[in-house]
Structures are given as structure tokens and as C-alpha cells.
Amino acid sequence: MTSLPERGATPSSREGDAARASSSTSSAPEEQKKDGGSTSVLSSVFTIFESGQGSSSTTAACANRSPKHASVSYAWSRVLRRIVGDGSMWRFLGCGRVLTTGDVWFLGKCYKLSSEDSSSDSESESGHAAFSEDFSSRIWITYRKGFDAISDSTLTTDVGWGCMVRSSQMLVAQALISHHLGRSWRKPSQNPCNPEYIRILRLFGDSKVSAFSIHNLLQAGKSYGLAAGSWVGPYAMCRTWQTLIRTNREQPGVINGNGSFPMALYVVSGDEDGERGGAPVVCIDVAAQLCYDFNKDQSVWSPILLLVPLVLGLDKVNPRYIPLLKETFTFPQSLGILGGKPGASTYIAGVQDDRALYLDPHEVQLAVNIASDNLEADTSSYHCSTVRDMALDLIDPSLAIGFYCRDKDDFNDFCSRASELAVNANGAPLFTVVQSVQPSKQRYDQHDGSGCSGEGVDDSMMGVEDLDGSGETGEDEWQIL
């Protein structure tokens, strides 16, 4: 099952507000305790504006202050609290929110942040330092300004509307890092850079010559509503990647038809029997055929990227799915989640307790041009050390999960884990795994000969009205897929 294709919606002030909200964290007393020493750094600042509030010894002095002075002090106090709450001050101080001692699952790796529990599990790594190194090594792709105008528009920036595109670029970039450099790769502190790493960054540059640039993604996604200045949902974004990768492989001069994308792509659909309420179905036979088509060989299994678009509720995620979403981060094949708060997409790469840990694209940076052979390039704008978090129950119910399987054994391991997760889902799995499906139940042809799943769009679906620009019709908790 997949959701209806989203149609583009012109962004309003709602996204600007949501984007700022996406980087906010709780300011409740218990959250302030978790911040430890970092909070005390700012305590004196608030005291400047709030000293005397609630203190009987200063009541008279406060009363003698002019109303204008009191109003200004109160306004400054509110501004400072907002800056600290939304993470801006933490970035200014060069640190992120302090994590709790709970285990962190980050793209298939477990980090024990409690020293008491860090010695027994050989599958986990201990310490904040190891997690911080891993987090800051992930490729961070954000809003950019100053690039060449997109398509036939005059826009030279994607500020305010490009967060879904940027989030999807981060997920795909992680798939390429895992494939070329391995999950254990960490960015070195000094140049020269790894040539493969530079080539990956080059793919996501902000110009038409970069295969996976925002320019080329918007061009490939026109039929799904992608346009400069408009916002789309995860389903349309997944189908856009499918179209772009297939188009790249069909271009003349592409070696072995694989181009710059070295793996098959499977956008997972649902049980196509016309009924509502079914979960997406990973079909093993379909995945195998995609891999064989990619390699042009019926006996060789290729690496494969799976994208699973989901709609897990109406206004918010149904609570029954939250434990299942958390469990997907324990899969070694995990690439995280394309999603975030409504109208403000992020790249969710980990979980701790009931919090989602993410990389935020809502940071405006100048466009850069990294040459593919420049191993001394400054790549600092592609990495972030600030860990952002949000409550899992606040994420947008429209999202997409990514998985990368290096070979057949890795895919079999993924299927085993996914099947076990479905069994433990109490009748409401995120997705299921089957060996094969009847051809009559498939609404689209997965096998187009390019190692990339088919279009997946029924023409009759394109006329369904999108009432709120989110890609959802609001008729039911699940969409017809």
C-alpha cells in the first residue's frame, strides 16, 4: 500500500512556523535538568531580566520602575527564552541538547550512554564521544541560497519550501555512504578527503550538472507536483527519486546503465486488491527481479535501496505505531525516516527513549561547488554536530522509511527482522513481507528493465482532490494505495 500522490502546495507562513518549531525542544523543568551545566550558563542572563519577580524584598523597587521599562525587560526575557528553547542558543554555544542516559539507536547502531551498561553488549558502542563522531559524520544537506535559478523560475534559493527535497537527499546520501564507504565510515578531522566521499557530495551539488541536485529532482518530479516554491509529501518524493534514477540510467553514455546510482531501487507499495487499510508489502520476488534487472544478470543479486512510504494516522501518528517505528532503527539496514513535523520535513536518523533524533535542513547556507577531484575541499557545511530532537508522537503521520541491503544475505536478514516486527505488531504492522503476489493484484509494473520499480501511479488517482496540500485526502486513517 502506498499513499495517494501528493500534489504541490504553495507554502504559506505555516511552513515557516513549523520549520522553526521543528528545531524546538521542551523547556519544561525536567528537560532543563537534562541540560545539566549548559543551562546554568544562561541562568544569569535570565536573572538580569527577571530578578525581583516573586521576591518580596524587591517589590517596592519593581513598583517604582516605569511601565515601559518593565515591558521592555519582560519582552527581552521572552525573546531569550524562545532563542534557548528553539535551539538557536545551543548552536551559538557550539553544543546540542544534552542526551539522557538511555540507549541511542542511530541508523542500526546502538550507543550505550550509561557507563554502567556499556560493557556487556558486543553489538553496541559506548559513550557520547562515539555517538557524536557518528552523528557529525552523516551528510547534512540544508537550505541553500545563491545557486543558479531553478528551471524556468527565478528562484535562486529553496528557503521556505525545499525541506522535503533536502531531507530526501540526506537519506539517499546515507545509502551511498553505506554502499561505497561502509556504515562504520567516519569523516576524518583533516584533509585530504576520501575521493569517494567527495564524489558523493558532488552528486548533491546545487546545479544541473550534479545528478541528484534540487534542480534535477524538481524536473523529475513534475508529474508528482514538485515545483520550485511548492511543498510536497514523502510519497511524491519517493516516486520522484524513482523517476530521476531511471532517467539517469537511460541516458546515453551511462556505463552498464547504472550511472551514478549503484543499486536497485524499490519503492514499496501496498496490497493492490482495492481494499483500504492494508499495510505496504515487501515482495521478495519483486526485489529479486529488480536486482537481476539492475545487473542485467539473472543470477547476480545487486545492492538495493528500499523506500517505504507510509501514512500512519490523520493529524498525528497513531500511538500503536510508535514502538514499531523505534524498532526499525535497530535494523542494521536502517537509513532512517524521511519526515518531521507537519509542514517541516527533517531527516530522522535515530531514537532515544521516546524522542526522535534528527538532522534539520532548515538552516540557510550559501551554495557551494565542490569539484569531484578536489580532495582538499572545505566540506564543513555538509556536517552538523548539533543533535536535535522531537517527541516521536509529534512527527507527521505521512513519512517514508529507508533501508539499504548490500547483498542477498543482507536482504534476507532484513526480511527476517521485518517479518518478526510484523508478527509483534498486534495486527497493525508498518509493512509486511511476502514471497510473491499475484500479478492481478499489482496496480503497476515493478519490472521496467532498469532495476527501478515502476511508476506506481493509477491515472484515476491523479484527480483526487488534496484538500490541505499535504498529500492526504482526510477520508480515512489510511490512503488507497
Active-site amino acid positions: 163, 360, 362
How far, in Å, CA of 477 to CA of 315, rounded? 9
Q: What is the Rg, in whole angstroms, of the alpha carbon atoms belonging to the chain? A: 24
Q: How many CB atoms lie within 10 A of CB 372?
A: 15
How far, in Å, CA of 308 to CA of 151, rounded? 29
Residue 21 CB contacts under 8 Å (≥ 6 apart), including other chains: 86, 341, 344
Peptide bond just before 192 cis, omega within 30 deg: yes
Q: Is 190 helix (H, G, I), strand (E, B) or coil?
A: coil
How far, in Å, CA of 96 to CA of 87, rounded? 8
In the DSSP assignment, the letter for residue 304 is E
Residue 268 CB contacts under 8 Å (≥ 6 apart), including other chains: 2, 280, 281, 282, 306, 307, 308, 309, 431
How far, in Å, CA of 307 to CA of 411, rounded? 14
How far, in Å, CA of 479 to CA of 398, rounded? 10
Q: Is 307 helix (H, G, I), strand (E, B) or coil?
A: strand
Closest by Cα among 129, 46, 140 to 84: 46
Task: Decide: residue 274, CB within 10 A, 0-12 exposed, 13-18 middle, 19+ buried.
Answer: exposed
How far, in Å, CA of 104 to CA of 122, rounded? 15
Closest by Cα among 238, 262, 243, 279 to 427: 279
Q: What does residue 389 show for φ and ψ, rounded to 5 degrees? A: -145, 155
Partnered with residue 317 across adjacent β-strands are 313
